[in-house]
Every structure is written in C-alpha cells, then in structure tokens.
Amino acid sequence: MPGGNTRTTVFMEPHPLYGARGQGCRVWDVDGVERIDCINNFTAMIHGYAEPHINAAVAEQLALGTAFGMPTPSEIDLAELLCARLPSVDHVRFTNSGTEAVMMALKAARAFTGRPKIAKCEGAYHGSYDFAEISLDSSPENWGNTPRSVPYSKGTPQGVLDDVVVIPFNDIEESLAILGRQSGELAAILVDPLPNRAGLIPADADYVAALRRFCDETGTLLIFDEVISFRLGFHGAQGLWGINPDLTTLGKIIGGGFPVGAVGGRGDVMAVFDPSSGRPALPHGGTFSANPISMIAGRVAMELLDENAYAHLDSLGAQARAGIAEAFAKSGVTGSVTGAGSLLRVHFTDGPIQGYRSAFATPEQARRMKQFTLGLINNGVLAAPYGLMALSTPMTSADIDLVVDAVRKSLATLA
Ligand code: PMP
C-alpha cells in the first residue's frame, strides 16, 4: 500500500496508530492503549463503537446474506425514514460513499438542466469526484483576489477546471457577481452548510437564502451536501436553516458504521434515475448500493438518533467548545475553536475565522496543529490531524471534561 495504508486522511508520520477495537466512545490501539475517540471515523460513528442495537440487527442479517442482485425491503425502510425526516426529499437513491452521492447529485443536476457547469465554495470538501474537489486546498500563491478554479489532483483535465465555478463562502455580493456571469450554464450550486475544511463555521442564513433565490431565478439546482451536517439536527442542516434544497447528499451516519451514501431530492429531478419508462436520463447501478447490512445498520442508527439524542450531542458540543475556548484563553497560545452541534474544530490562526481563507494555516500554524494533535494522542484523545473533533452519543459530560483536560495539557506543552 503506497505510504503504508489506504487513506491519505489517516496517514501519519512516522506511522499511524493501528486500531484494534472500540467500545462506546473509546478505542484501543494494537499496543493496548485506550483513548477517547473524537474522530469517530471522520464523523461517521455517531453512536461510537459496538452499539448493541446496531450489532444485534446486523448479526441477524449476516445470517441471512449480505448483498443480493435484488432489492431488499431494508432499502425501503431507510428510504422512508430519510424522506420523513427531510421534507425536501421525495425520492432517494443509495450509493456506497459520500463521494459517489455527490457525483450522482452533480450528474443528476446536469441531466435535469442540460447545463454543464457547477459552482462550489472555495475550500469546501465534497469527496473525490474531479468536479467536487476543485479548489479544495487552493493556497495564497494561487487563490487570487476572487476565487479561481484550482486543481486539487495533478492531472485534472482543463475541461473540469472550466466547468467548475468557485465562489467565496458566506460572501453574498461576490458570490452573486460570480454566479451571475455564469447563469444559463450552471446546472447546480453545491454547498455544505457547515464546511469542515473551510473553517467549520456555519453558512449565514442570508447567504443560503441568496443562493436559493439565485437558483429559483435562473433554473439552477441548489444541492446541500449533508454528508456531515445531517448530524446537526433531526431534520438535518436544512431543517435548522429553514431552506429546502433541490437535492441533498448524505453519507456517514446514515450507514450506522457501514459504507453508505445517498442522494435525494425533488421528485421531478430524481426522475432522471427512473428506468420505468425506458432508458433513464441518468442510469445508475453500484454492486453494493443499498446492501442490506448498510441499510439495516443505518436505519437502526438513525432511529436511535431521536430529538433527545440530538439535544445530548448539542450539549456535549457546547461544553467542549466552551472548555476549549477557556483552555486557549488561559494558555496564552493564539488560537480558537469553531463548530456547531456535535462538531468542533481547533485553529491556530490569528483573528476571527470567517471562512476558508481566514482558517488557512501558515506553515508555522500547521506545525503547531501537528504538535497539538500529537499532544492529544499522548493525553488519551484522538482528533483529526487538522483539528476536527466529532462527538458521539455514548459520551458523557465527564468524558468531555477529559477531552478538555487533554486539550489543556497539549496547549501547555505548546506554550
Ligand atoms: N461530502 C462531505 C461534506 C464530506 O465530508 C465527505 C467525507 N468526509 C464526503 C462528501 C465524501 O464522503 P465519503 O468519504 O464517504 O466518500
């Protein structure tokens, strides 16, 4: 495996910690060291590890078979749950990952509108589809006064760059000016209401409303990428923001710990997938799409996420953000914490975080982040290497105290 494992996201020098097992909010590495897990497989494991209801349901299905060349009732159950929770979603298609969900949403938007281009926010992560990863990590040397289409991977075709319009997150005036120059060619605007890589600050309600208006006026589709943000509320970020997107992409938590993704939305748009009147505008398969293990685990996980569970997660998140902000203030180390609900991100940048550019770390700030997350590891807490933490339902207020204590110790070492 190039670099020693299969995911750039878990690479670490001199080598990553290798996981052995997890229980609740704790994980043990292969050396037997126990830690509180604030990565939760990059936000997917919202109920932590070995949740007994999920395990029991999956064990029952394992004995019956794991994937068929037939649909199963399990996909109907999860689709009904998602449609009930997300009023903007009339129909759902399942995929195996969030990347695929975003890819199918963008292709659906093109198929529905007959237009080639998509718009996305600078610095926002939406998975590995060529079009979705443009300007994911544009840097001061190439970002220009207003956002430009910058390749993420070497070898990105010029055609992809030409068909992706990049807008500055939360900047209404500039975004509308850029979009206005492209209208008529734009199939969709892809937005994450709480973009993790662009600073983990919430989209302003006015910003999202302005994008919704632009889409209504120009026949462009608004796509919410809720692969992560569905963990913010019972009706997703769209429920909290009070906006109905035309399409929504989902993943992570809706698989209950198993591979999953989904695209859902307006019935007339989702009809591009429908083969019942002949060849659809957008044929879509996927060998393991809607496999009953992911569907069943996902349904049980989502049923466990009732309003009480969200309230518990919100309160843990508020406690963690307040504790970490206080730890920064007392340590004298320059930095801040952003986030909402059960998500938070630590920054070592100066000044308030307003979006991707103000959250962008200089090499020295990036070095501090590396030292900080290593300090957390050595004090019993796992966080993503860029400072993201995602909390889980089995955590208690006492666990958050332990997390904040690890932050305090790690900041003290940095100071
Ligand atoms: N969209 C967003 C907002 C994400 O955070 C991610 C994954 N972190 C994806 C899409 C891609 O999902 P996956 O890793 O399941 O392909």
DSSP 273: G
Task: Report the alpha-carbon distance of residue 384 to residue 386 in Å, rounded.
Answer: 5
> For the structural domain made of 59-304, what CATH number should be given?
3.40.640.10
Tell me which residue has its CA closest to atom 10 in ligand 1.
126
18 is an active site residue? no
Residue pLDDT, tens place only, 88-97: 999 999 999 9
Task: Report the alpha-carbon distance of residue 326 to residue 336 in Å, rounded.
Answer: 10
For ligand 1, say whether the CB of 42 is within 6 Å of any of its atoms: yes
Three-state secondary structure call for residue 63: coil
Residue 371 φ then ψ, to 5°: -65, -40
Residue pLDDT, tens place only, 50-67: 999 999 999 999 999 999
Task: Report the alpha-carbon distance of residue 17 to residue 36 in Å, rounded.
Answer: 14
The neighbour count for residue 326, using CB atoms within 10 Å, is 14
The parts of the chain modelled with pLDDT lower than 50 are none
pTM, rounded to two decimals: 0.98
Task: Report the alpha-carbon distance of residue 338 to residue 336 in Å, rounded.
Answer: 7
- Contact predicate 298/305, CB 8 Å: no
Ligand 1 atom nearest to 124, measured from its CA: 3
Q: Which of 252, 356, 399, 409 is catalytic?
A: 252
Please tell me the predicted confidence (pLDDT) of residue 144: 84
Please tell me the predicted confidence (pLDDT) of residue 183: 85
Q: Which residues pair with 29 in a beta bridge?
A: 19
CB neighbour list of residue 388: distance below 8 Å, 6 or more residues apart = 39, 42, 43, 196, 200, 343, 344, 345
Tell me which residue has its CA closest to atom 13 in ligand 1.
98
Please tell me the predicted confidence (pLDDT) of residue 32: 98
Classify each residue of 298-324 as buried b or exposed e, where b means 16 or more C-beta atoms within 10 Å of its C-beta. Answer: bbbbbebbeeebbebbbebbbbbbebb
3-state secondary structure 355-392: CHHHHCCCHHHHHHHHHHHHHHHHCCEECCCCCEEECC
